[in-house]
Amino acid sequence: MNKNLQELIKISLLDKEIDLMDPKIAQVRKGLTEREEQKAKKELLITDLNEEKKEHLTLLAKCEETLKNASTKLNDIASKMQEVKTEKELKALNIEEEIAKEQITFQNAEIQRIEKLIQSTEEKIQSTQQEIQDLEDQMKKIESEIALEIENIRKEQTEISKKKSAIVEKLDQKVVVFYEKVRKWAKSTSVVPVYKQACGGCFIRLNDRAYSELLKGDSVSTCPHCGRILFVEES
Ligand SMILES: [Zn+2]
């Protein structure tokens, strides 16, 4: 078999192993990733709750302002009543007094309602913060449990990459560039065997001419249908 092709097969097998490493790490980190996602959701919730609290506080300030004005108004009415001269004036003041008192009663009830809302929002913020803390504790524990496993996978990854580099260095760089180009789209099926005269990637049958070219093995051949690099398994 063509020497370049032999080396390409080796490289493609190493690449296959490298490709398996990231999913392996993702699998090991699964519990951690899940908690990271939960934590991010809870942090968003806290942002929303803080926003909610801010709105409540604005509303509360408005109510307090209205209450203050109504009290001032009530005091004004009281002093005007001292100087009242006619029955008509008195009646008008009485109505104004009634309205101001209603306003005060209403604002007081509103203030109580809003204060309760603020309190419940604060409680939600606190409990969510506690949940985040719990998640962080769990994550630390998981991290320490999987650290060694991840490290081993990374070491393995480095080892395979080194093996690959050693082969790549000695190889005709044109062939390497070509392989990387195919790999961009064909991934782990960039170099495939031919089964029963058909490409092992796209499974389309090669015509006799293309097949006999491939059997000669003078150069690196590609599938005329899909462009993958082909080899014939030696029995
Ligand atoms: Zn093909």
From the CA of 190, how far away is ligand 1's center (Å)? 10
Residue 220: partners with Cβ closer than 8 Å, 6 or more residues away:
2, 4, 5, 8, 175, 178, 229
From the CA of 27, how far away is ligand 1's center (Å)? 32
Query: What pLDDT score was predicted for residue 140?
Result: 97
From the CA of 220, how far away is ligand 1's center (Å)? 14
**Can you give the residue range of the structural domain that contains 158?**
17-169
pLDDT tier, 219 (very low <50, low <70, confident <90, very high otherwise): confident
In the structure encoding, which two tokens stand for residue 222, read together?
A: 């590609």
Query: What pLDDT score was predicted for residue 91?
Result: 95
Query: What pLDDT score was predicted for residue 76?
Result: 95
Query: What pLDDT score was predicted for residue 234?
Result: 75
Residue where one domain finishes, among candidates 140, 169, 198: 169
Residue-wise pLDDT for 58-109, tens only, equals 999 999 999 999 999 999 999 999 999 999 999 999 999 999 999 999 999 9
Q: Flag whether 48 is in a domain.
A: yes
From the CA of 230, how far away is ligand 1's center (Å)? 8
From the CA of 195, how far away is ligand 1's center (Å)? 11
From the CA of 198, how far away is ligand 1's center (Å)? 8
Residue-wise pLDDT for 123-157, tens only, equals 999 999 999 999 999 999 999 999 999 999 999 99
From the CA of 208, how far away is ligand 1's center (Å)? 15
Query: What pLDDT score was predicted for residue 233?
Result: 84
Count structural domains, the chain.
2
From the CA of 210, how far away is ligand 1's center (Å)? 12
pLDDT tier, 235 (very low <50, low <70, confident <90, very high otherwise): low
**Are 188 and 149 in a shared domain?**
no
From the CA of 162, how far away is ligand 1's center (Å)? 30
From the CA of 165, how far away is ligand 1's center (Å)? 27
**Are 214 and 181 in a shared domain?**
yes
CATH number at residue 138: 1.10.287.1490
From the CA of 200, how far away is ligand 1's center (Å)? 7
Query: What pLDDT score was predicted for residue 188?
Result: 92
The pTM of this model reads 0.70
**Are 135 and 218 in a shared domain?**
no
From the CA of 212, how far away is ligand 1's center (Å)? 16
Residue where one domain finishes, among candidates 138, 169, 200: 169
- The mean of the pLDDT values for the chain is 95
From the CA of 167, how far away is ligand 1's center (Å)? 25
**Are 88 and 156 in a shared domain?**
yes
**Are 86 and 137 in a shared domain?**
yes
- Examine the pLDDT at 3 and tell me if it is beyond 90: no
Residue where one domain finishes, among candidates 152, 169, 186: 169
Amino acid at 147: A
Query: What pLDDT score was predicted for residue 1?
Result: 73
From the CA of 231, how far away is ligand 1's center (Å)? 11
**Are 189 and 155 in a shared domain?**
no
